[in-house]
Amino acid sequence: MNTLRIEYEYQKNWLTKYTKKVNGLVLEIFDSVCILLAKAEQKHFQFTKKMLDERGLGITPGQMIILYTLYKQDGESITELGKRCFLDNSTLTGLIDRLERLQLLSRVAVPGDRRAYSIYLTDAGRAIREQVTEVMESVAQTMLAGCSDDEIAIFEKVLRNIFDKL
Amino acid sequence: MNTLRIEYEYQKNWLTKYTKKVNGLVLEIFDSVCILLAKAEQKHFQFTKKMLDERGLGITPGQMIILYTLYKQDGESITELGKRCFLDNSTLTGLIDRLERLQLLSRVAVPGDRRAYSIYLTDAGRAIREQVTEVMESVAQTMLAGCSDDEIAIFEKVLRNIFDKL
DNA sequence: TGCAAATTATTTGTATGCAAATAATATTTG
DNA sequence: CAAATATTATTTGCATACAAATAATTTGCA
């Protein structure tokens, strides 16, 4: 008896609705929506890193988000920037260090407050805007290929709900 | 003219369907579904960490996933475990170190292959199974509160699609 | 059999992320 | 005005993650 039997069992509880079973045993961890969310984002992060690399942009996914936030509005303090991209100051220090080293942004002293800096995009930072957004567009298209507009709308709604509820 | 005007504009492109505008400017970065996914997971991770902490389980979200994977099946090699929880060996080394230090699992030498270890849950590791799954259930319920069964089913389907496509 | 290639796990280096502690500067309050 | 408090950014420590390099061992092939 060395058969491989694969079933999908309907779940009534908090587990994802259809659970994969191999020879009667659930081995796959995606029966938890928590793990499914974490692993989808893990793949998404790695894929974005690869795309940025292939495009030769020389930036990482985290740096991309900072740039995207600055494209909406730059010249704010590190704390204000952190509020818009939902990152702690201690995380931003390193990210801004690396982006400054790449000469994509610069810390500018704030007149009247010697503790603070304003973060401004440089010309080089502004110059890669189209390429950065193109990568994000491309990643979104790839990962959502095969999903209908309605499904995508619901997906976004649930993500937004998760962000707001937690 | 110092009014605060907030609108939501319908988008036809790759951006999320409804985009928040403040005085005509899009400042919010959630008009990108990529960022929305990343930030929802970021919140999810932090919330899970907090829950595990409050429950006094003494483990982290990453360790929780390893335990969940082992509850499905233990006694496998590190490489095999990594395939089921989608983690690199180099990531697992540290996670397993910490879980072994907590005496929740143990590395057992494999007879016939002196390179490999089998990873087994300890009694203590098995003892917290209910509490670990309860935390995951609780996180899922909190983050999906207010979503219908249909919406959740679609959400899971899209996450699965993302994982498979990337 | 003996050497090349593959496998297994670890180490090192880099990039997120947060918490807590720190240092410098501003603000508030008595 | 001076001391207490708050704010701003950084540093340090810890926890994920992967890539690339390493070490030990096993497998495959000639």
Q: Which of B127 and B18 is assigned the larger pLDDT?
A: B127
Nearest residue, CA→C1' of C8: B115
Banded pLDDT at A16 (limits 50, 70, 90):
confident
How far A149 CA lies from chain B's nearest CA (Å)? 9
**Contact assessment for residue A132 and residue A55, using Cβ atoms and an 8 Å cutoff:** no
Q: What is the pLDDT of residues A89-116, one digit of tens each?
A: 999 999 999 999 999 999 999 999 999 9
Q: Which residue is nearest to nucleotide C19 (CA to C1')?
A: A90
A17, A73, A153 ranked by CB distance to B156: nearest: A17
pLDDT at position A5: 72
Residue A32 DSSP class: S
Residue of B nearest to A88 (CA): B42
Measured distance CA(B94)–CA(A29) in Å, rounded: 20
Q: CA of A137: which chain B residue's CA is closest?
A: B14
B87 CB neighbours strand D below 7 A: yes
Closest Cα to residue A66, out of A107, A38, A37?
Answer: A107
List of chain B residues whose C-beta atoms are within 8 Å of the C-beta of residue A14: 136-137, 140-141
| Cα separations in angstroms, B49 against B30, B32, B60, B61 | 24, 26, 6, 6
Mean pLDDT score, A122-136 = 98
pLDDT tens per residue across span B139-151: 999 999 999 999 9
